Amino acid sequence: MNQTLFFKNRIAVRSRASMVGPKEGKGPLAEYFDVIMPDDLLGKPSWEQAESEMVRRTVLMCAEKGGLPAESISVVLAGDLLNQLMSSGFAARELGTPFFGLYGACSTFVEGLVLGSVLIDGGYRENAVCAASSHFCTAERQFRFPLELGTQRPPAAQWTATAAGAMLLDARKENAPAYVTHGTIGRVIDYQITDASHMGAAMAPAVADTIMAHFQDTKRDFRDYDLIATGDLGWIGRNLLKELLIQRGVKVDDEKLFDCGANLFYQEQDPHAGGSGCGCVASVTCGYLMKLMEQRDVRRLLVVGSGAMLSTTSQQQGESIPGIAYAACLEGE
Amino acid sequence: MNQTLFFKNRIAVRSRASMVGPKEGKGPLAEYFDVIMPDDLLGKPSWEQAESEMVRRTVLMCAEKGGLPAESISVVLAGDLLNQLMSSGFAARELGTPFFGLYGACSTFVEGLVLGSVLIDGGYRENAVCAASSHFCTAERQFRFPLELGTQRPPAAQWTATAAGAMLLDARKENAPAYVTHGTIGRVIDYQITDASHMGAAMAPAVADTIMAHFQDTKRDFRDYDLIATGDLGWIGRNLLKELLIQRGVKVDDEKLFDCGANLFYQEQDPHAGGSGCGCVASVTCGYLMKLMEQRDVRRLLVVGSGAMLSTTSQQQGESIPGIAYAACLEGE
């Protein structure tokens, strides 16, 4: 089954913006983010409202960096981890733009890149802002425990990033640092992981499935890419992915396999298996990875966003945790 | 700001399927649904798993009615009301197809129709199944109260439909009863309604906004349509929509304004202001409205799905309830 879309026209990355929380702002990628928040609240009375404000500001910052007036944004595609997309929905209310709400758990940013590219490549929209966010405090209390409990985190747990990223795609931009050339749609894959603190293991099979589909559809392999950046598998998931790809006969080039979650924090920051959350792959792509493309250190990049499709209800009902992953290929001139 | 997409190619409705619960199966539209469930559980141990099973069966029934083997489905676009799209996500796991998860609250089905049409019109996918679901028991306990409490419902409340609908779009089908010709992307609109039992009032302004955008972009008005079917405004929202359109100078033809939610139940069934839920507009469009198009009683239909972007968290934090609406134009030969 073919899962990859080939874009006929040039879909330029016109601009990109990222915003992260204080902890992420002390990590190894700190210098690449546009804004490091001084605290978790941005002056708002709740973490959820702060996350929504992050989305709003990041989208507007992205448009401004691209020289696009906010009222000229053709469409915003966005999503987050909160029930009923609270962060993105309320941000879209403030923005007033045409809006598609997406949910692919932590893969949402790349899901948006694929659909945003389709809207531009087909000539339906002049531009599109693709955005995603997560917030440690909103995600933890929704999916796991109230923060006030101070629950101890197991070693396989990942730290939900307080972060947002936005990318402005535009058909008309010349001399862009990167163009979206392919998008691969994911399938929901379940390897029967049931531990909600073991997200890397839950998502790695879906990432392997999407990368395999992308390679098959495009007749490419690791040699065709300078970097394959996975969403937020963390260290455990990243190494599981490597095993899964080798099992399937892929020649994995370990140095080209970069995981956004595994690289967001220093180990001394105690993230355990690494960072996670919709905002992780979004901010690292819009911050660090796009910088590599601008510097031409990376000429061809495959970004693979991965999501774990669990909810508190599915967990309480004893369901396992399926994963999904979307991939987008970004190429320089 | 232009919000409407014009489709250049013929995007045919190849088939459609619908499945409803026992209460919906005693309503005025009962004869138009493919399957009326004997109970709310479909043999599953939880209502959530039953809702997921509804999605799976409806998608497969739709493909089968269209003569398409399940493994030839190019993509499924689906969503529901549950946190983290539990129904659609787990259905997609069983289906194994490429999958886009969408969230537009009760507007999700039409959001999917718009994006599915884009994927086909642009030549990215051969076919697409657009689906959405809701379940009275899963939605009530998630958004409001445990059903066991027997909480009294206020008069403005709507009854979340236990229903799923799926539509198979296909570029190659000849002599289809309907083709998708336009899609209008909604904006998030907030008139500061705070009562979670007054969804019609929360959503009507977004529906008015999208219909106005559609009329402006296409230079059409009520005279160009045989029927304008809104998602699930219920009786109160439907009449508010009429007022809002008249305020904006639109010549409203009352007989052409049909609301799926207002027509799903008999008043004696005690639905109060009418039906609601993602499955409402999905099942009524895929059941009743498509039948009208097949019979050529309706030659040009505008379906406007509407969603209320609330969550329990946003309600608890005192936020108002914004709405969003997407529109799709379906035309016969």
The tokens of B137 are what? Answer: 């028991």
| pLDDT above 90 as % of chain A | 95
Instruction: Say if residue A18's pLDDT is above 80.
Output: yes
Helix (H/G/I), strand (E/B), else coil: A126 = coil
| For helices B199-218 and B234-247, angle between their N-to-C axes, nearest 10 degrees | 40
Q: Which residue has the tokens 């479909």?
A: B42
Task: Identify any residues that bridge with B159 across adjacent strands, giving them in sequence order.
Answer: B275
Question: In the structure, what pLDDT confidence band is assigned to residue A174 with cuts at 50, 70 and 90?
Answer: confident
- pLDDT per residue of chain B (333 residues) written in tens, 0 to 9: 699 999 999 899 999 999 999 999 999 999 999 999 999 999 999 999 999 999 999 999 999 999 999 999 999 999 999 999 999 999 999 999 999 999 999 999 999 999 999 999 999 999 999 999 999 999 999 998 899 998 899 999 999 999 999 999 998 878 899 999 999 999 999 999 999 999 999 999 999 999 999 999 999 999 999 999 999 999 999 999 999 999 999 999 999 999 999 999 999 999 999 999 999 999 999 999 999 999 999 999 999 999 999 999 999 999 999 999 999 999 998
Chain-centroid distance, C-alpha B247: 26
A218 close to B (CB below 8 A): no
> Which burial class, exposed, middle or buried, applies to A20 when counting CB atoms under 10 A from its CB (0-12, 13-18, 19+)?
buried
Question: How far apart (Å, rounded) are the C-alpha atoms in residues A293 and A176?
Answer: 10
Q: In this predicted model, what pLDDT tens digit does every residue of B198-223 receive, in sequence order?
A: 999 999 999 999 999 999 999 999 99
Burial A122-141 (b: 16+ CB within 10 A, else e): bebbbbbbbbbbbbbbbbbb
pLDDT on residue B173: 78
Which member of B79, B82, B93 has the closest CB to residue A322? Answer: B93
Q: Quick one: DSSP state of residue A104?
A: B
pLDDT tens digits, residue range A98-138?
999 999 999 999 999 999 999 999 999 999 999 999 999 99
Residues in B closer than 8 angstroms to A319, CB to CB, are: 90
- Cα(A100)–Cα(B184) distance, integer angstroms: 11
What region does A260 belong to: left with phi over 0, alpha with psi -120 to 50, or beta? alpha
* pLDDT confidence of residue A290: 98
- pLDDT for res A304: 98
Q: How buried is A216 (Cβ within 10 angstroms: 0-12 exposed, 13-18 middle, 19+ buried)?
A: middle
Alpha-carbon torsion B219, B222, B227, B233, what sign?
positive
Q: What is the rounded CA–CA span in Å between residue A243 and residue A248?
A: 9
- Residue B308 in contact with partner chain A when CB distance is under 8 A: no
Q: Are A17 and A286 in contact (CB under 8 A)?
A: yes
Of B89, B100, B121, the CB nearest to A122: B121
∠ CA B289-B47-B232 to the nearest 5 degrees? 30
Interface residue B97 vs chain A (CB under 8 A): yes
Q: Tokens 């890419």 appear where?
A: A225
Are B49 and B72 in contact, with CB atoms under 8 Å apart?
no
List phi, psi (to 5°) of A279.
Answer: -75, -15
Q: Which of B160, B124, B97 is nearest to A324 (CA)?
A: B97
Prediction pTM value = 0.98
Q: Which residues in chain A have their CB less than 8 angstroms from residue B324's CB? A: 89, 92, 99, 101
Q: What is the DSSP string of A184-216?
A: E--B-B------TT-HHHHHHHHHHHHHHHHHH
Nearest-by-CA chain B residue for A124 = B5
Q: How far is A286 from chain B (nearest CA, A)?
A: 22
A30–chain B nearest CA distance, Å: 30
By C-alpha distance, the chain A residue nearest B323 is A93
Q: By the 8 A CB rule, do B133 and B105 touch?
A: no
For residue A152, the number of C-alpha atoms closer than 13 Å in the C-beta half-sphere is 2
A99 with B313: Cβ contact below 8 A: no
A-chain residue closest to B320, CA distance: A90
Residues of B in contact with A313 (CB under 8 A): 48, 82-83, 86, 142
Chain segment A183-230, per-residue pLDDT in tens? 999 999 999 999 999 999 999 999 999 999 999 999 999 999 999 999
Q: Does B316 touch chain A (CB under 8 A)?
A: no
**Residue A333 has what pLDDT?**
82
Q: Is A311 helix (H, G, I), strand (E, B) or coil?
A: coil
Q: Which residue in B166, B148, B187 sits closest to B19, CA to CA? A: B166
- Inspect the interface and report whether the beta carbons of B92 and A311 lie closer than 8 Å: no
Domains belonging to chain B, first-starting first, are: 4-170 (3.40.47.40), 179-331 (3.40.47.40)
Q: Which of A314, A45, A3 is nearest to B88 (CA)?
A: A314
DSSP code per residue over A156-174: T--EE--EEEEEEEESS-S
The neighbour count for residue B203, using CB atoms within 10 Å, is 38
Query: Measured between beta carbons, which residues in chain A are less than 8 angstroms from residue B132?
Result: none
**Cβ neighbours around B15 below 10 Å, total:** 24
Nearest to A205 by CA among A213, A197, A217: A213
Q: Smallest Cα–Cα separation from A167: which of A61, A293, A49, A21?
A: A61
Of A98, A118, A314, the CB nearest to B124: A118
Per residue, the 3-state secondary structure of B204-215, as one string, reads HHHHHHHHHHHH
Q: Which of A48, A100, A142 has its CB closest to that of B111?
A: A100
Q: Does the beta carbon of B103 lie under 8 angstroms from any beta carbon of chain A?
A: yes
* Subunit contact A84:B96, Cβ cutoff 8 A: no
Cα distance from B251 to chain A (closest Cα, Å)? 25
> Which residues lie closer than 8 Å to B43 by C-beta, 6 or more apart?
none
Cα separation, B106 vs B201, in Å, equals 14
* Chain A closest-CA separation from residue B128 CA (Å): 12
Q: What is the rounded CA–CA span in Å between residue A108 and residue A130?
A: 9
C-beta atoms of B142 and A313 within 8 A = yes
The alpha carbon of residue B102 is apart from the nearest alpha carbon of chain A, in Å, by: 4
B78 at the A interface (CB within 8 A)? no
Q: Kindly state whether B216 is in contact with chain A, defined as any CB-CB distance less than 8 angstroms.
A: no
Q: How far, CA to CA in Å, does B287 sit from each of A152, B69, B174, B238?
A: 51, 22, 21, 20
Best residue in A309, A315, A321 for a mutation probing chain B (most B CBs within 10 Å): A309
Interface test with B, best of A11, A75, A83 (most B CBs within 10 A): A83
| Confidence at residue A108, expressed as pLDDT on a 0 to 100 scale | 98
Of A1, A86, A97, the CB nearest to B187: A97
Q: Which tokens in the block code for residue A316?
A: 């309480």
Closest residue to A98, CB basis, from B48, B122, B186: B186
Interface test with B, best of A52, A106, A188 (most B CBs within 10 A): A188
Closest CA–CA distance from residue B65 to any residue of chain A (Å) = 21
pLDDT grade, residue A1 (50/70/90)? low
Q: Give residue-wise pLDDT tens across range A291-330.
A: 999 999 999 999 999 999 999 999 999 999 999 999 999 9
Distances (CA, A) of A82 to A10, A129, B75: 33, 20, 25
Q: Which distant-in-sequence residues (6+ apart) come within 8 Å of A132 by Cβ?
A: A78, A79, A80, A88, A108, A109, A112, A164, A165, A278, A279, A281, A282
Q: Which of B101, B124, B187 sits opposite A104 (nearest CB)?
A: B101
ipTM rounded to 2 decimals? 0.98
